[in-house]
Every structure is written in C-alpha cells, then in structure tokens.
Amino acid sequence: MNLDFLTGITQTEFLGITLANWCLAACAIALSFTIARAGIGFVLKNLRVRASRPEAHISHIAIEVLSSTSNALLLLGAVLIGIGILDLPERWSARVSSLWFVVVALQVGLWANRAIALAVLRYFKRHSQSQVYTGSALGTLSLWGAKVLLWAVVVLAMLSNLGVNITAFVASLGVGGIAIALAVQNILGDVFASLSIAVDKPFEVGDFIVVGSLAGTVEHVGLKTTRIRSLGGEQIVMANAEMIGSTIQNYKRLQERRIVFKFRLTYNCSPEQVKAVPQQVERIIRGQKLARFDRSHFLAFGENALEFETVYIVLDPSYNVYMDVQQAINLQMMEAFADMGVEFAFPSRTVYVASLPPSVDTRPGSEETAARGTVPQTMQ
C-alpha cells in the first residue's frame, strides 16, 4: 500500500507538476519562512544586547529597522523559493524572477522608510532648542519629502522591472502634477509658507505671539495651518500663508520691556514743583529692583494740564512683572505728589460767555483767566 501511495504521489500531476514536487515545494516554503524568521530574531536578540551598552545609537536604529520587517513579504519570499523548486514553464519562471525583485524592493523600501524616519527624528531632536521635541514643520516636511522620494523610486524601479515604460509614465505624471498644482495652489501656498516658517523661524511652538488683533501661545505648526491658544482659552487656527503675510510680534523672545507712560498735573503747580516732579519720579523708579530708569521730562503745556512723560525699562519680560512694577510706581507717585501738594489733572473745560464779566473758578483742575474774544465756546 505504501508503494501504491508513493507511486500515486510521484505520478499524479496537478497543473503539469507531480504531487511529490508540490509537497517538496510546501516543505521548502515552510522551512524558508522559519529560517528567515529565526535568523531575524537571532540578529535582533544580539542587537538588543549591544543596545544595552551606553552610546549604542546604531544598535538602536538597527533594531527599529529590522523590527519593521514584514512577515507577509517574508512569506511571499518563501513561496517564491518553493515555486523555484518546481519545474515551471519558461514564461512563469520570468514572472517569478520579476516577483522576486518586487518583494526585495518592497522590503528594502520598508527598511529605508523606517531608517529615514528615525534619522530625521534624531536630527531634529538634537537640533531642537527646547528639551522636549514637539515636531516642527520643517521636520514634518523633510520626513514627508524623503518618504515620497523613496517610494517614488521604489515604485518606478518595480514598474521598470515588470516591463512598464516608465519614461511615458513619468511624463504623464509631470503633466498631471502641473494640473494638480494649479488646482490646489492655495494649499500649496500654505505648505510653502510652513516651510518658510520652519526655515526662518519667526516663531516656534510655545512662543507667545500677536498677529494683528489676535494674541496667544503657539501650540502647533502644521503643513497648512498654525494653531494658537488665545488668552481667553479658545484655539485659533490660522492659515500659514496668512501668518507669513502679517506682522508678527513674538513676546517669547522679549528680554526687556521699554515702558513709556504719561501723566498730567494741574496748572496750579508752581515752577519749583514742576522741577521737582521728574526728580521724584526718577527716585521712585530707581527704587524698583526690576526697573531701570531712562528719563522723565516735563513734556508740554496741554490744553488743560501740564503733561509729563517718563520712560523706564522693566528687566523681566513677564507681563505680570511689568504690571506689578507699574502699580508700585503709580502708588508711590500718588503718595509723593500728595506730600508735594500737586494734584493730578482730570479732563475739564472752562466755558466763557462774552456777555458776562470774567469770573474765577476755584475748583481743582480749572483754569483762571480773563475772557477774551466774543465767540462763545460750547461744552463738549
């Protein structure tokens, strides 16, 4: 019976090939896949041992690359090995050879894809200004462009191996690319604007910026839009092209704040008091640890008050610190001016009527002068 069984296997044919050869091919497929999988596992085990040592960056990259090996492609390769054992017609042998190239090209493409991603990630992580890498637009664009170029080469190589005329194919892709570019020119404008942001770096993730009437902290810089978290808490999404076309104020890079503020005193001040006011302001500002005095002057004779202008530098970029310093200066100015007997002016206007004799108004902040002219003024 065993002889009959062996005879049946060796003589029975399926698709022109005996069952014995089919069984031999199946065994070769299983053995090839097992050996390939075991070999990759052995290499990964050794690499993990080396990766435990300090400064073993190459071993870490090799582990990540080999981990991206596709079991489906390994199985397909094992099937091609098994098919190679069979006595196939010549036309099928040529197709199997082409499939071999496709399998190898796809697997190499997967390894290269993973290696490129790791290389780009490592490069931008090393050159990132912050300690935590958040992923910049330049890194995203670089990774995307490298992957597109890689898979374009892989696909064209496979098509060429399969007998496709890639010259005409590339030409048609060029014409189609122009048509697509015209159709999505707004999107491409935002993409190139993101590249400009990545290269020129007018702002980065984490910076507090003001764009027109909008202000907030940059959360994400994408290929098309930039997301900003406003002071009110809502998220603002702006097109990159619109961001580049606007004036951007980056307060994260502010090192010092130059503050200019004005105040007004009544005309009741004497010349000696006017001379003493800038000196008092200078003394108050110099008494602040986080402020550097620049100047303080009697600026001008206003319509209904004496105007003073003061400039100082806040040594901390924080807005809260600036407000604390300004508040302390304001309170001390109120105390000092009260001791000097000078008063802050408030908006006022004196109306003179030509038909009435001139009068004296003793209210604070009012003007004492004789009526001149005959044209009455109206209260605004």
Q: pLDDT band for 18, please (50, 70, 90 cuts).
A: low
d(CA 227, CA 219): 6
d(CA 238, CA 215): 12
Residue 311 C-beta-side C-alpha neighbours within 13 Å: 6
Two tokens, residue 343: 């008063």
Least confident interval from 88-92, 135-139, 335-339: 135-139
pLDDT at 211 over 50: yes
CA distances, 342 to each of 116, 272, 339, 347 (Å): 72, 11, 8, 16
pLDDT in tens, 224-266: 888 999 988 899 998 888 888 888 888 888 888 999 999 999 9
pLDDT at 290 over 50: yes
Beta-carbon neighbour count of residue 279 at 10 Å? 10
Residues 6+ apart with CB under 8 A from 202: 248, 250
d(CA 253, CA 36): 55
pLDDT at 204 over 50: yes
- Find tokens 């001139």 and name the residue: 358
d(CA 247, CA 249): 7
Reduce the DSSP state of residue 258 to 3 states and report it: strand
pTM assigned to the model: 0.47
* β strands within the chain, DSSP E: 13-14, 17-18, 208-211, 214-221, 225-230, 235-239, 248-250, 257-265, 291-301, 306-314
Inter-helix orientation angle 19-51/57-67, to 10°: 150
Domains belonging to the chain, first-starting first, are 2-131 (no CATH), 186-250 (2.30.30.60), 257-340 (3.30.70.100)
Q: What is the DSSP letter of 377?
A: P
Question: pLDDT value at position 134?
Answer: 45
